[in-house]
Amino acid sequence: MARPVIGIIGNSHLINDQYLTHAGGHMNSCAVSNVSKCLPLIIPADPALVSVEDLLDTCDGFLLTGGRPNVHPEEYGEEETPAHGAFDRGRDAVVLPLIRACVERGQPILGVCRGFQEVNVALGGTLYPEIRDLPGRSNHRMPPDGTLEEKFALRHKVTLTEGGPFHRLFGATEVMTNTLHGQGIKLPGQRIVIDGYAPDGTPEAIYVRGAPGFTLSVQWHPEWNAGNDPVSRPLFEAFGDAARDWAMGKRAPVRLSA
């Protein structure tokens, strides 16, 4: 049997400051292939090149990756400021409606960092432009110096709701994670359940209440060391299982109304 196809949302990237590419992190593809046991397929997040309908027909699930550009604040009804950083409006245009369609259909999604924030915004939530500027909050950004191992090192615990889906998946109500993000959830979107928090109160784990499929999303980066980390491995394994279930019972091709 062919492996389920996981669409990995790519990011626009310039090589040598002039050659435009659609890039996906190697560790994302490794986590999907080696841990989820699915076929990784990098998606160019550009509405001029792909449609939501095509993606839903082609893929069995989607990994909503991290990325330096942030969701544009217009997507959640706020004005752009310098604190909001850089943007990728093409990715906004593809991924936000894709999330809503997947939630409705039960097609699996796994949100990571920016992807976690996209799930919240897609369902009507808002974001803080810079977590570290809030009273009592920690600096969750990537350390500026050091090796990749040091930058992705486990830096804080996440406390999970007892009996919730993350607790059931990990077998613990406290886990250690890395942290490499600037923005974070301000107001949760409709049906967004915050199922885990950092010690400073920053939301770190969410799912969509009542969704018929897999919607677990995390603010940290589980793709790092996914095959060996006791938190990352069960998350990607469960995502792969959900994609296999979808592939086995795949519906007829979808056509969305305008």
User: What residues are labeled active site?
Assistant: 113, 221, 223
How far is residue 248's CA from residue 80's CA, in Å, rounded to a whole number?
43
Compute the distance between CA of residue 168 and CA of residue 161 in angstroms, rounded to an integer. 10
How do strand 5-9 and strand 39-43 relate by DSSP bridges? parallel
Residues paired with residue 40 on neighbouring β-strands, in sequence order: 6
What's the rounded Cα separation, in Å, for the pair 186 and 76? 11
H or E element that contains 103: helix 89-105
Cα separation, 42 vs 12, in Å, equals: 12
Counting every residue written for the chain, the total comes to: 258
**How far, in Å, CA of 7 to CA of 24, rounded?**
11
Backbone φ and ψ of 238, nearest 5°: -65, -35
Provide CB contacts within 8 A for 38, sequence distance 6+. 3, 4, 5, 6, 32, 60, 61, 240, 243, 244
Phi, psi dihedral angles at 101 (to 5 degrees): -65, -40
